[in-house]
Amino acid sequence: MSQYPSREPDRVGPQADPTDEFLRLACLTYGADDPVRWANARALFAAQPGLGADSVHVAAARADGAALRRLLAAAPLANEEGGPFGWPPLLYLAYARHDPDVSADAVRDAVAALVDVGADAGAGYLWHGNEPPFTALTGAFGEGEGGPTNQPRHPQWEALARALLEAGADPNDAQTLYNRTFRPDDSHLVLLFEHGLDDPEELGFQLGWALWHGMDARVELLLSNGVSPDTQVGGRYDVPLRSAYAAALTSGHPDLAQLLAGYGAATELSAEDAVVAAVLNGGDVDEGVLAAAIAARPGLVVWAAAIGRADAVRRAVELGWDVDARARTDVPSDQEWETALHTAAGNGDASMVELLLELGADPSLTDGRFRSTPAQWAVHLGHPELVELLSGRSG
């Protein structure tokens, strides 16, 4: 069992030791300035090509298998914590981003040099002391909430991840799965399934996210790899647990509900979910259940606006849903984050903004996290053309 140090990349610098400074700059630290730091690491090494010749951590970051073997033959350093982050060498290899031209052969050779003398393929660290750990595998696969530009995968992510998995890294890597949740590319899942990915909780979250966001290929991949079509999804972020089939319909993705039914999913819906599904996807609404459905999903207008369903927005408001309710748009949760008008303004969806204003949305309301108006969201997210439209309707 790996023991994870409760450490995180120290992004404050510069370091007095140029070797530590190189390592500090070379690695993915999940900061917005990382790409600039990596360029600075390249420049630093170009100016001092002998930098860190006796450092096993620099050799790992540079994927220099020959240097690793020389250093490891002299001392048992395969799991030696060091450098500016207090990491073992393998983490510097996995999180290095300074060399976009590093070769797959070099990466495989560097992993072999380390694991052949006992390096822990499951090494990781705890960000702010929190679980799950950011492992070497997490570093290889990269990405996260900051997106692929600021938090890219390793230049040779597939070779590196495969080498780590073959050396014993756990394919049920929770942070890897979380970081790669947000975009529809499923290459990481293919590789992880190949090496035994089977954690029910993590796969349930992956299925839920794919259903909420209309990721058809991911749903198909998960089902074809044995994830039950009757999996209960939700349970995080105040999203109620419901069947995968119900989650697809109440998120506005009837095609995915059909796919699940084709895999044998039970198709029963609660009365409230049936109303929500009818509003989003078209269909008859049982008005006797309407009040209960509104109480169960008060932020439905926000979700409908986020997925661009103008007809559902209009119908929901006409049926009694509050056009100014706040909810989340990354998951179908009624946590009070933003209004539908914030969502449309942030998305640059002028026709949705017009519709919401027509339906009585209040452009002076602030969101629940940043205390900003829809016009301020439009400015911040690069849609200044909507400001006049929103401001002209205030008051």
Alpha helices in 18-55 (DSSP H): 18-26, 34-47
Note the pLDDT of residue 299.
98
Beta bridge partners of 87: 82
Helices 34-47 and 18-26, interaxial angle, to 10°? 140
Alpha-carbon span 323 to 340, nearest angstrom: 7
Q: What's the burial of 280, exposed, middle or buried (CB within 10 Å: 0-12/13-18/19+)? A: buried
Phi-psi sector, 49: left (phi>0), alpha (psi -120 to 50), beta: alpha
In whole angstroms, what separates CA 230 from the centre of its chain?
A: 24
Instruction: Give the start-end residues of each E strand in the chain.
Output: 124-127, 130-135, 232-233, 242-243, 326-327, 338-339
For every one of its 395 residues, what pLDDT tens digit does the chain have, with 9 covering 90 and above? 356 655 556 555 666 789 999 999 999 999 889 999 999 999 999 999 999 999 999 999 999 999 999 999 999 999 999 999 999 999 999 999 999 999 999 999 999 999 999 999 999 999 878 899 999 999 999 999 999 999 999 999 999 999 999 999 999 999 999 999 999 999 999 999 999 999 999 999 999 999 999 999 999 999 999 999 999 999 999 999 999 999 999 999 999 999 999 999 999 999 999 999 999 999 999 999 999 999 999 999 999 999 999 999 999 999 999 999 999 999 999 999 999 999 999 999 999 999 999 999 999 999 999 999 999 999 999 999 999 999 865 44
CB count in 10 Å sphere of residue 103: 13
Count CB-CB contacts under 10 A for residue 203.
Answer: 21
Q: What DSSP assignment string belongs to 216-227? A: HHHHHHHHHTT-
- The whole-angstrom separation of Cα 331 and Cα 213 is 8
Token output for 282: 């078209």
| Alpha carbons 153 and 148: distance in angstroms, whole number | 7
Residue 349 φ/ψ, nearest 5 degrees: -90, 85
Specify the CATH superfamily of domain 199-268.
Ankyrin repeat-containing domain (1.25.40.20)
pLDDT of residue 12: 56
Which residues 6+ apart lie within 8 Å of 329 measured at CB?
302, 303, 306, 337, 338, 343
| Nearest one of 347, 325, 346, 327 to 337, comparing CA atoms | 327
pLDDT at 394 (0 to 100): 47
What confidence score (pLDDT) does residue 395 get? 43
Class of CATH domain 1-196: mainly alpha
Rounded Cα–Cα distance for residues 107 and 159 (Å)? 7
Residue 22 · residue 52 · CB < 8 Å = yes
The dihedral over CA atoms of 204, 208, 214, 217, expressed in degrees to the nearest 10, equals 0
Residue 364's closest CA among 385, 345, 383?
Answer: 345
User: Considering the domain 270-391 in this protein, what is its CATH number?
Assistant: 1.25.40.20
CA-CA distance, 230 to 243, in Å (whole number)? 6
Question: Residue 335 is which amino acid?
Answer: Q
Total-model pTM: 0.93
Three-state DSSP class for residue 214: coil
Separation between Cα atoms, residue 91 and residue 377, nearest integer Å: 38
CA distance 88 to 175: 19
Domain assignments of the chain as residue spans, ordered by start: 1-196, 199-268, 270-391
- The answer to whether 1-196 and 199-268 have equal CATH topology is yes
pLDDT at position 11: 55
- Angle in degrees, CA 236, 239, 242, rounded to 5: 105
Q: Are 167 and 196 in contact (CB under 8 A)?
A: no
Amino acid at 128: H
- What's phi and psi for 114, nearest 5 deg? -80, -50
Q: Which two tokens stand for residue 378?
A: 């439009």
Angle CA(49)–CA(61)–CA(113) in degrees, nearest 5? 110
